[in-house]
Amino acid sequence: MTRAFPRSTILTLALVVASACAPQRPATSAMPAASPTVRAAGEDRFVDSLLAKMTLEEKVGQLNQLSGLAATGPGGNVAGVEMLRRGEIGSLFNVVGADTIAKIQRVAVEQSRMHIPIVFGLDVIHGYRTTFPVPLGEAASWDPDLARQTAHVAAAEASAAGLHWTFAPMVDIARDARWGRIVEGAGEDPYLGAAFADARVRGFQGASLADHASIAATAKHFAAYGAAEAGRDYNVADVSERTLREVYLPPFHAAVCAGTASLMSSFNEVAGIPAHANPLLTTQILRHEWGFDGMVVSDWTGIGELLNHGIGADTADIAAAAINAGVDMDMVSESYRHALPALVRSGRVSQATLDEAVRRVLRMKYRLGLFRDPYHGATAQGEASAMVTPASRAIARQSARESIVLLKNDGNVLPLRKDLKTVAVIGSLAEDAGAALGNWTGQGHWEDAISVLAGIKAALPNANVVFSRGASVTADTGGIADAVAAAKRADAVIVVVGETPDMSAEASSRATIDVPGAQMKLVRAVRAATSAPTVVVLMNGRPLAMQELNDISPAIVESWFLGVEHGNAVADVLFGDYDPSGKLPVTFPRVTGQVPIYYAHKNTGRPSNDNDKYVSRYLDVSYTPLYVFGHGLSYTTFTIGAPQLSAQTMGASDTLHVRVSVTNSGRVAGTEVVQLYLRDDVSSVTRPVRELRGFRRVTLAPGESRVVDFALDARDLAFYDASMRRVVEPGTFTVFAGNSSAATQSARFTFTSGNGQPVPVAAGCPVVR
């Protein structure tokens, strides 16, 4: 996907079209006013009536999406007024503002022959104006309901600005931290990923797409984009069908079950077939198996790039391959606009195939209510009042707090006292409010963001807060001496290190994921200079390989890029106003050479350990990660009991309850995330050592206890066997309960089928509890 434009570079298309906007007919003439119920009942009839009146070129125009201002990638074309009048554009993106969009929309609905409205999209990834934590950071909250709320706020702001459609959520599973786009998803686990996919789709779309606070969601990138070889963006993803279905597809299926209006194809190939020309993905699985009736959009020039993949000799070849595979809308490349009319006339693409693609586009516009109100209720006055409200900032602060992970706290360095006289805040990222927003910032303004430095100063109004840049994220070491001097005279030291946002983004893969630049030299110097309590705060969009940083730092806080309330949330945690509750949604390696690394690995015939030679291990570093999936500390302690089973056996129609007691055994109130993992002990194909099957956030006062009840049924036990049938095989299963994927408390039960044969399990919607 392309980047949204910074507001400083937007050249409004409204300037081009304003002189062409004299009204010629009512803006809503394409469809009479009707109640939502009537509209829903008449959807197919209405859409088919439009299709019957459209010319071939007008139909193709509905499949053409352009960046409405300027190109942000190769091959981009700028939309023109005459194209709108001729009905050659179905969608525009990178256009913002209620007035600007209304002026453009007026041309489409008043001056084109069919009066069909344009659907306007933008990459609203983790906020529109109110910027929330980057998706990987928000996944560390393990709070899908909060993610639903942040997506809803983003949708309301975007809709108020005239937009109808976001190219989010990204639901790619990513297990290689070198890949820059790991920042956009929910991490390495399909169960957690499915939960966040469900929540974000429901948040963006609300109760109805036609609601003025809703926008259409796009689950992307379909599929296995996160499996790019070597973590290099756009690279090949060579995964088996079993891995595809069990690891990479569940979040997409969850998004479909949540009602996502659209999906976006991915840049990569899967098993030799590029995703933009892959009928197994886009037709067989998505539409036939899952029953998806929405729209599939290409990624930026994704159809045109099929030429580079080498599966076609010319534009006609690749356009035919893409539309026959089930890709409905062509983003930017205009391959459809240039080739489809002749392809349909020649019979290489059937009229029925074209009509079905157009039908899907029109169906989404219908469901958004655009034929009734092409402007989706957006006005300049409403836009002005909708942005960065006190309510949205409150949600942003809570989301940021919950996303922070306390990685290490030796000697209870944290929380820091508020009566400190002098606090040194060191590191260039500490004062960088723009960095707090992360990447894919929508229309976020750095002026709205609270930096770490500003947050600390606000939390300690009576302290002397001394700032030193120290060393930069690149190679600048000129400020290290000043940082050391500041540390020596401070009662506590906070060192902020990590990445800049453009290091964790599209086209931002890193061959080494160490703490970049001269920042480790800075940390070493500061640690050697003072015995004062020292905390390292990380700002980053991926797991970092930081064995040395971990070894020399008594306290480490993972803060990701938290959005507009970054600094306030960090200060809340550092000084004890909020007890950290975040858990890692992705494994942190010790060194880059361990990646890809993830908890749900296979055992192999020579299981790993650090003592024997002829086992799966390294010569120069432990095979174990630095921090496991699900890890995260608190300022209190929790005691989690062994799982208690409602029965020792279960059958195909049974529900097994797993009850886990959790007690706050510390001295302050806190929130624990109780996690449940499952292992199939013996099976006909190899299975992961354990898989996440449930989690609950539990808030407890000191001394308080609670019993968490997890329900398991056959869907939780099922896998694809050697014949690619989804089954549960009779035998024993082990459940593990704890506060990370390293949980050791366990219990075992037996699944029985009556006749000793595997039990088929329908491939229904993923379990999202």
Q: What is the pLDDT of residues 209-227, one digit of tens each?
A: 999 999 999 999 999 999 9
The yes-or-no verdict on residue 340 having pLDDT over 60 is yes
Lowest mean pLDDT among 26-35, 84-93, 97-106, 662-671: 26-35
Mean pLDDT over the full length of the chain: 94
The tens digit of pLDDT for each residue in 26-66 reads 333 343 333 333 335 589 999 999 999 999 999 999 999 99
Cα dihedral: 459, 460, 462, 465 (round 10)? -140
Averaged over 147-161, what is the pLDDT? 98
CA 251 from centre of chain: 10
Tokens standing for 189?
Answer: 């686990």
- pTM score of the predicted model: 0.95
Rounded to an integer, what distance in angstroms lies between the CA atom of residue 661 and that of residue 709?
9
Do 544 and 515 meet the contact criterion of CB atoms below 8 Å apart?
yes
Helix H or strand E segment including 750: strand 745-751
The yes-or-no verdict on residue 69 having pLDDT over 70 is no
C-alpha dist (Å) from residue 706 to 499, 661, 671, 672: 39, 6, 12, 11
Place of tokens 């940083």: 549
Rounded to an integer, what distance in angstroms lies between the CA atom of residue 292 and that of residue 17?
36
C-alpha dist (Å) from residue 251 to 219, 243, 586, 736: 9, 13, 15, 23
> What is the reported pLDDT for 74?
52
Averaged over 751-762, what is the pLDDT? 96
The tens digit of pLDDT for each residue in 425-475 reads 999 999 999 999 999 999 999 999 999 999 999 999 999 999 999 998 988
Predicted confidence band of residue 79 (pLDDT cuts 50, 70, 90): low
Predicted confidence band of residue 410 (pLDDT cuts 50, 70, 90): very high
Residue of 32 and 677 predicted with greater confidence: 677
Helix (H, G, I), strand (E, B) or coil at 338: helix
The tens digit of pLDDT for each residue in 624-653 reads 999 999 999 999 999 999 999 999 999 999
Predicted confidence band of residue 9 (pLDDT cuts 50, 70, 90): very low
The yes-or-no verdict on residue 584 having pLDDT over 50 is yes
Tokens standing for 384?
Answer: 């002005």
Question: What does residue 644 show for φ and ψ, rounded to 5 degrees?
Answer: -110, 130
> What is the reported pLDDT for 77?
57
Predicted confidence band of residue 78 (pLDDT cuts 50, 70, 90): low
Tokens standing for 454?
Answer: 């500003």
The yes-or-no verdict on residue 508 having pLDDT over 50 is yes
Helix H or strand E segment including 409: strand 405-409
| 64-67: strand order across its sheet | 165-166, 119-122, 91-93, 64-67, 330-331
The tens digit of pLDDT for each residue in 173-195 reads 999 999 999 999 999 999 999 99
In terms of Cα–Cα distance, which of 30, 40, 34, 4 is closest to 87? Answer: 30
Q: Which residues are catalytic?
A: 299
Averaged over 329-341, what is the pLDDT? 98
> What is the reported pLDDT for 501?
97
Rounded to an integer, what distance in angstroms lies between the CA atom of residue 401 and that of residue 84?
45
The tens digit of pLDDT for each residue in 516-566 reads 999 999 999 999 999 999 999 999 999 999 999 999 999 999 999 999 999
Rounded to an integer, what distance in angstroms lies between the CA atom of residue 166 and that of residue 158?
9
Amino acid type, 437: L
Averaged over 278-289, what is the pLDDT? 98
> What is the reported pLDDT for 475?
83
